[in-house]
Each structure stands twice: as C-alpha cells, then as structure tokens.
Structure 1
Amino acid sequence: MIKLPPISLYIHIPWCIKKCGYCDFYSYVSKREIPETEYIKNLLKDLEKDVKLIHQRKINNIFIGGGTPSLLHNESIKTLIQGIKKRVKLCKYSEITIESNPKSIEYKRFRNYKKSGINRFSLGIQTFNSNLLKKIERTYTKKEAIEAIKEIKKINSNFNIDIMYGLPDQSLQNVLSDLKNAIRYNPTHISWYQLTTEPNTAFYKKDLCLPTENMIFKMCKKGEKFLRKSGYIKYEISSYVKSKYKCRHNLNYWHFGDYIGIGCGAHGKITKVNGEIIRTIKNKNINDFINGKYLEAKNLISEKDKAFEYFMNAFRLYQPIYKKHFQERTNISISNIKNQIKKALKNKYIIENKNSWETTQKGKIFLNSLLKIFLN
C-alpha cells in the first residue's frame, strides 16, 4: 500500500449577486430566493458518497468558495459545519476558510460565521478604487470594502485580502495605492494577481483598455518590492504572507495533495490505495444537484498527465521541489521524466540538486513554457 497524501475539503457555493465580467468560475445569478436548506442537505449527501473513497483519512482543512458563500445565512453555515463534523474527522487545528464579498448586507454575518467554526476569512476586495470597481463590475464601493475589513478585524486576526492589478485604465499609482490600503489593515495574507480575460468570460470580447505589457511588468515589480518592504514574504506566484499564515488549503493543492470537492461544479482529486489518482467533477445544474444527481464525471489521471499536473502546482511555489515528494505523490519513477527534466535544465528554467529541483527566475517568468515541456 502506498502512502496516501493529506486531504482537504472544498465546498462550492455557486450563487452570486452579479456575474463579474472577468470571472470564469462556475457561478449562478439567482433571480429567486436561494434554496439554502435544500442545497446544504444535498452538499452533505454529496460528501457522504465521497467519504467512502478516502479510507478514513482526517480532513486537514476546509475551504468554502464560490460564487459568493457569504450570501448564505448564519444557520446554513452552522448546519453545514456541524454536518461535516458528523461525517468526517477533522484534524485538531483545521483551517476553515470562507470566501466573502464586502457587501454591507453580508459582512454583518461574519461574527456568526466565526461562532460556527470559520477561523479564516478571504475577502475579495480586488481594488479600493470605486471607479475601477465599477469597471470590473463589482457590486460594492471603497467604503463598503473598508467597512468589511474592519468588521473582520474585530472578530478574527487571520484573514486574506484579494487584490488585482492590470485593471482597465489602471495606473501604477492606482496599483500602489491599493496595496497601501490593504497593508494598512495588516492582513495575514494577501493574494495579489493580474487580471486575466479568459475565453469563456464576458470581458474576453470587450475592448477594455488594459495596461500595456511593459506597464504590467512595472506594476508587478514595483508591487512586489513594496510588499517585500512591508514585511510580506512571497511564497507562491501570487501569494504573500506574514509569518506562519500561508493558506493551508491552497498549499495542499500546490503540494499535489488530495481534496474532496462537493457542490455544483466542484472538482476533486483522490488517490487510491493502488496509487491511481481519480478526478471527480460534480453536476453544474443546480436543479439536478438538489435532486440528488451529484457526480458528473469521474476520470482516472493517466501516468503521463500525473507528472504535468504535479509540476503545474509545484512550480508555483518559491521553494525546492523534492524528488522523493514527487515520487510519493505521483507514484512515478524519476527515470520516467528524465527527458523532460533534461530539456527544462537546458532552457535554464530549473536547476537540479542531489535531492531536489528549483525553478529559476527565468522559469517563473516563463512558467507556461516550462509546463509545456511536461505536457502530454
């Protein structure tokens, strides 16, 4: 029997007040009242089915994402957390995160979320500039964003702020102002990343007047320098942290750990005792899901795809990638990827040590080119 990796739980809450033009996550704008009670009941039934696949492993961390999970009422979150604890064992110091929207009607619920067991909040601020918020179709103002942060700080010291750069008509001064505003409230974690317009989003077909590549590069370098001087350590391509507050759930992804994914459109990854890895995809149709049709697909990851998927996550981190870890998480011999490693070394995307590999600065800049080497 192989050594099974740690496992986390991801829960998808698909509803939003409004679908943002840049968002490519599965979300649903409901014109009717959200069927919270029915959805929570079926989330827990969905979990019961997947629990049979994890061989009694304890759940390390829980992440409630979306969509906008903070649309749910206090009682729904309480029922969800209590239901999870009845069905799986949690590690003693599990991190339980909820994504939150800084809209005044929602952040007043944060205190009760905390009482239900939530111990980490992730606030999708994106920018503190009210004009830019309108341009990226967010539904709140700078004032509401700040009020939400202040409310979080009253009840919980561990929280993340999401900030984006490269927004339409955004200047370098705007970028640095956003970071200064975020740091003023001393979040333990900052996710700072570039706006991208994916093909399946509304923004993809729009003329958005985005900053030039040269300006994006300046924003990135100036912003990184500012965050570093402010005491934030970059531990992943778009993640900055103070002290010990790395996002444990995301680290599990990047270390190629397992995770159960429950809820509409949720994805999961589960390693079997024979070393095979399966991907689960849940039904995106809310009505079908509420009627008990949870699983849309279950796929076996091929041996060739395992290496690509491992490095797609591991290369994001600013730390060595240990060869032993690669073999344990993929059940693949190093000899099977020797040609790809050789090519990555030749292109100076990575360096090789006796027991590990490390991504070079060039490798981080040209990450997509590096990953293509391992793509089947």
Structure 2
Amino acid sequence: MSLPPLSLYVHIPWCVRKCPYCDFNSHAAPEQLPEDAYVQALLDDLDSELPLIQRRPLQSIFIGGGTPSLFSAQAIGQILQGVAARIPFADDIEITLEANPGTFELARFEGFRNAGVNRLSIGVQSFNAEHLQRLGRIHNPVEALAAARAAVEIFPRVNLDLMHGLPEQTPAEAMDDLQQALEINPGHLSWYQLTIEPNTEFHARPPSLPLDEALWDIQEQGQALLEKTGYRQYEISAYARPGQQARHNLNYWQFGDYIGIGAGAHGKLSRYEGGQLIIERRHKLRQPKGYFDPALRLAGQEVITADELAFEFMLNALRLTDGVSAELFRERTGLSLEHIEPLLQQARQRGLLVEAPNRLAPTLQGRLFLNDLLELFLD
C-alpha cells in the first residue's frame, strides 16, 4: 500500500499592496518584514507536520504568496536549508519561487538561484502600461520585460503568468501581450482569463470587461498561437514546452499529497489506518500576526469523506488535458471505479468524457464545459 508523491507549499503572505482582483491570502507588507521570525515560524510549523508524512521524500517545493520575492535570498535559503534538514529531497526536486517584476533586481534573482531555487514563476499579467495600471500592479512594462529576460538567463525553468480578458482589453492587445511573452521564450506559460472573485475590490466595483465574443476570439487566437510556437496545453490554463510542465502543480492535479506551511496555507495528507486509506486536509491561520502563535497556527483539519472523494479527485484530475489513468482513481482515493461508474457513463453519454475504460479524461467539449462535467460528481 503506497502513498502518493509528496510536495511542500510555503506561503509568504506579504505584498507591496493588494491588487484589486486578488483573492489570495495577501497583506500589505510592513516597513520592516519580520523575516527571521517568520522563517522560524515556518520551520516550527513544518516540525508539527513531520509525523504525518510517512518518511516520504519531497518531489517539489513551491514558495508562493503574496510576493515571496520580497524576502531576501538569505531568508529563502534559510527556509530551504531548514526543510532539507528535516525531509529528504528527491534528486530532481523542483523548487519554485513566485516573483513580482516590481521587486526585480538582478543580484536578487541570482541570490535566489544560489539559494537553491531552480524554477521562477513571474507574475507579469500584462506588458501593457494601461492594463497594468488598471490591475493595480506595481511594475511597468519595462520592468516586466527586464525581469522575464533575466529569469530565463538565470533559472533553468521559468514560468510567466499572463492574464487576458482584462478591463477594456481588445483581442489585438491580448495577442500583443502573448506575443511579447513568447519572444522571451520561457519554458512554461500560465495564460488564463481574469475572473472576478468575491471579497475583492473588483467584485465590489466591477470593471468593464470584454464581451463574450471578444473573449472567445482571444481564447481561439491565443491557443492557435501557443500551439504554433511549440507550447502544448496540458491543463486548463497551463502551456509548456516538452519537459517543462510544472511538476508541483501536476502533483496537485493528480491528487498527490502536499504539506502546507505559512499563514493561510492548505495541505492534503494521506495515511493508512487498519488498511483503510485516510485523506486529511489541514489549513493554517490566515492572519500573519496570529500565525506566529503556535497555539493558533493550525486553524482546522478534516478527513475527506468517501462521499466527497470522487468530486475532490475529479476537480483536480479533469483539469488535465490528457486526464489520468483510471487506476489512479483507486490508488489516490482508496475507492473502486465502480463507486462512480454510473456517473462516468452519464458523462460519456453527454460527450464530456472520453470513451476509454482505462482513462479518465475530458473531451474537448468537457474542457469547454468543465463545470457541467464536475457537477455530475457532486452528488
């Protein structure tokens, strides 16, 4: 009885300022970041998770936020050294750090690489000055280009985050953004439509977004351009050159396990009890001030019930263009495929799931209407 691969998510919750579309757990940075205290809190948090990991090595680490690149390279190095002292690393471990072009300094990027980061994910969002201003970003196009170009020179693996469907954006402007990103030649692109989330400034004061017809044009033109230039769509919003897929995110989508440390971080960990697979979700306190208190740090934990497992698995696996093997469902949930066979048949009859008994994968129609496909597994 084997357990899933294990990853680690590290959350650093501070930003220079909150963007109006952002619903992540991020907070305006104080004048002096509490680097030392937060690094120690992260490692203490990790210590509390160690009994649950079953001696598995880490396949990937993702340091997200917030804006993790606000932390010094020394602090990032201390985090990685502390983790390595507690959990063995896979030989080919992927270590990703999110960075904001507005915090770019060449020496800083070089410091992150020397600290052990081997993949940088840069939140560009747009190369258009007006759109960046509307999005509340602190960087300008020149800084975005400089940061992205430096990243591909320094890091062996680079992702650029780019949004489309921005306030008052035309299809031509969206394609210009995408073309500029492609000219930098990163190995990976996260290209996705802006969505208005609850509890954001944009939700309270909605901006003027492109009409559905324009959004469809952007999607069609963008996917054609990405395919033409060698970027394969392997997930709803993820495009990569061969061998450049985000291994950390693939572990999420394949229903692998991950430890979550840091303010607001979430984790999913599996274990066997009496031959029964138990899958538990754990989440940490969102407020940074309270997170420093060990007694408050763990905000909640709950076992995923058998009734919830099928939906939880499909919610992740069906984001993948190629889906997953049917056998993976049994391995990662402990349930037999017969548990959901009537729902699979219904999805196939509606043309949302491919007709392959050994594979769980959405059709093109299923990818376009993913919410409809997932709703079948909610019951």
The reply to whether TM is greater than 0.5 is yes
Partners of 1:119 and 1:158 within 8 A in 2: yes
**Counterpart-to-counterpart distance in 1, 2:336 and 2:151:** 46
Among candidates 344, 347, 351, match of residue 350 of structure 2: 347
**Counterpart-to-counterpart distance in 2, 1:71 and 1:368:** 36
Change (3 A) 1:264 1:117: same
More deviation, 76-85/145-154: 145-154
Aligned residues, how many? 375
**Counterpart-to-counterpart distance in 2, 1:298 and 1:147:** 42
Change (3 A) 1:321 1:155: closer
The residue that corresponds to 1:148 in the other structure is: 147
The residue that corresponds to 1:316 in the other structure is: 319
**Counterpart-to-counterpart distance in 2, 1:19 and 1:140:** 13
For structure 1, which runs of at least 5 residues remain unmatched after alignment? none
**Counterpart-to-counterpart distance in 2, 1:320 and 1:290:** 40
1:45 aligns with 2:61: no
The residue that corresponds to 1:332 in the other structure is: 335
The residue that corresponds to 1:359 in the other structure is: 362
1:237 aligns with 2:236: yes
**One-letter identity of the residue aligned with 1:291:** D
SS of the residue corresponding to residue 225 of structure 1 reads helix
Q: For residue 106 of structure 1, report the CA deviation from its aligned partner.
A: 4.9
Partners of 2:104 and 2:147 within 8 A in 1: no
1:291 aligns with 2:331: no
SS of the residue corresponding to residue 277 of structure 2 reads coil
The residue that corresponds to 2:280 in the other structure is: 278
SS of the residue corresponding to residue 260 of structure 1 reads strand
1:158 aligns with 2:178: no
SS of the residue corresponding to residue 101 of structure 2 reads coil
**Counterpart-to-counterpart distance in 1, 2:328 and 2:30:** 47
**Counterpart-to-counterpart distance in 1, 2:373 and 2:199:** 25
**One-letter identity of the residue aligned with 1:230:** T
**One-letter identity of the residue aligned with 1:176:** M
**One-letter identity of the residue aligned with 2:34:** P
More deviation, 70-79/152-161: 152-161
Query: Per-residue displacement from partner, 1:289-339 (whole Å, max 9, x unpaired)?
Result: 112232000110011111101111111111143111111010011111122
The residue that corresponds to 1:89 in the other structure is: 88
Root mean square deviation, CA, Å: 1.1
**Counterpart-to-counterpart distance in 1, 2:302 and 2:109:** 37
Query: Per-residue displacement from partner, 1:182-227 (whole Å, max 9, x unpaired)?
Result: 0111100000000000112110122311001111111001000011
The residue that corresponds to 2:214 in the other structure is: 215
The residue that corresponds to 2:192 in the other structure is: 193
The residue that corresponds to 1:370 in the other structure is: 373
**Counterpart-to-counterpart distance in 2, 1:343 and 1:105:** 50
Q: For residue 355 of structure 1, report the CA deviation from its aligned partner.
A: 1.4
Partners of 1:275 and 1:330 within 8 A in 2: yes
The residue that corresponds to 1:139 in the other structure is: 138
The residue that corresponds to 1:120 in the other structure is: 119
SS of the residue corresponding to residue 109 of structure 1 reads helix
Q: For residue 64 of structure 1, report the CA deviation from its aligned partner.
A: 0.2
Partners of 2:43 and 2:79 within 8 A in 1: yes
SS of the residue corresponding to residue 77 of structure 1 reads helix
The residue that corresponds to 1:56 in the other structure is: 55
Partners of 1:101 and 1:107 within 8 A in 2: no
**One-letter identity of the residue aligned with 1:360:** T
SS of the residue corresponding to residue 11 of structure 1 reads strand
Partners of 1:70 and 1:106 within 8 A in 2: no
TM-score normalised by the chain length of structure 1: 0.97
Query: Per-residue displacement from partner, 1:327-375 (whole Å, max 9, x unpaired)?
Result: 1010011111122112212211112323123211111111001101101
**One-letter identity of the residue aligned with 1:135:** R
Query: Among the aligned pairs, what percent are the same residue?
Result: 40
Partners of 1:71 and 1:106 within 8 A in 2: no
TM-score normalised by the chain length of structure 2: 0.97
1:176 aligns with 2:171: no
Partners of 1:167 and 1:195 within 8 A in 2: yes
Query: Per-residue displacement from partner, 1:260-303 (whole Å, max 9, x unpaired)?
Result: 00000000000012311000000112122112232000110011
4+ long deviations beyond 3 Å: 104-108
**Counterpart-to-counterpart distance in 1, 2:307 and 2:155:** 43
The residue that corresponds to 1:202 in the other structure is: 201
1:32 aligns with 2:31: yes
SS of the residue corresponding to residue 80 of structure 1 reads helix
**Counterpart-to-counterpart distance in 2, 1:62 and 1:10:** 6
Change (3 A) 1:105 1:240: closer
For structure 2, which runs of at least 5 residues remain unmatched after alignment? none
Partners of 1:12 and 1:265 within 8 A in 2: yes
Partners of 1:264 and 1:289 within 8 A in 2: yes
Partners of 1:190 and 1:240 within 8 A in 2: yes
SS of the residue corresponding to residue 87 of structure 1 reads coil
Partners of 2:282 and 2:300 within 8 A in 1: yes
Query: Per-residue displacement from partner, 1:246-273 (whole Å, max 9, x unpaired)?
Result: 0000000000000000000000000012
Partners of 1:260 and 1:270 within 8 A in 2: yes
